[in-house]
Amino acid sequence: MTIKLITTDIDGTILKYDGTFNQPVYDCIQKLEHNGVKVILITGRMHKSAKKIADMFNLQNPIVSFQGALIKDNSKEEKTLYARYIPIDTTKNILKWSKSQKIDVNLYMDDELYSENENGSIKQYTKAQKIPYFIKDFESLKIENVNKVLLIDYEDAEHVTEIKNQLTKDYPELYIVKSTEYFCEVCHPEATKGDGVRFLQQYYGITKEETLAIGDHDNDIELLLAAGVKVAMGNGSDDLKNVADFVTDTVDNDGFVKAVEKYVLNAGANV
């Protein structure tokens, strides 16, 4: 089956953990686009942040951000193609509960980032992604159009796991996942990366079998399950590797390129 669509995570997949990329990854993406294979970025990042990466790789395709809560085209108008928001009362309850848990919280509304505290977490997070943020008391904000709630503890990964498990128990109707060892992400139930892939498959008229997905962490499980070819990075989580058809090399060693060469370029675009 010919691969027509490649859906890829960003951090730990095409970008190294320091935010840089290797030249072969850039060259590979350009070659794919030149050959008519669509490359779509699917990320937990906010749209503003993801767009910078898309532009860096000269990608004109739609961008899937906030796991799968928001899809916009990459035109000047940035037309919204798909959007899902966490219910307002649910968001308020989670924000209130999180204050008692000694964990930092990022609140995303209408593709803007809010935090209550000018602390190390928000500075570290925004510095890495080069994005602006606002310091506001959450109770002073009009809560609406919430793309995502992100809970962060850079010092204690186990604490993040406990937070994730408790929220999953209390809000089984939501999509709650660890996207890194230190991040717990809360989204609308129809805001997974898999939802993003399925929307794009329908949007382009491309089948599951014609799709290759690649990622590195638990939030990429839904991404891989929506594709005909499932690839986990060598630096990926064990749970992700368990659902993959193929475990490629690490991000430092151009695992993305090696997977594409195996399933697309060196296969004559046939799997």
Q: Per 3-state DSSP, what percentage of the chain is helix, strand, and coil (rounded to 5)?
A: 40, 25, 40
| CA–centroid distance for 268 within its chain | 29
Residue 164: predicted pLDDT:
97
- Residue 163 contacts residue 151 (beta carbons within 8 Å): yes
Length of the chain in terms of residues written: 271
Both 211 and 199 in one domain: the answer is yes
Q: Is the pLDDT of residue 129 over 90?
A: no
Average pLDDT of the residues of the chain: 94
Mean pLDDT of 123-146: 91
| Euclidean distance between CA atoms 78 and 80, whole angstroms | 6
The mean pLDDT value for 161-187 works out to 96
Q: What is the pLDDT of residue 269?
A: 44
What one-letter code names the amino acid at 172? Answer: P
Comparing 69-83, 124-138, 182-196, the range with the smallest average pLDDT is 124-138
Domain-embedded: residue 71: yes
Q: Tell me the residue range of the domain where 238 lies.
A: 5-83+191-265
Residues 149 and 196 in one domain: no
Domain CATH for 238? 3.40.50.1000
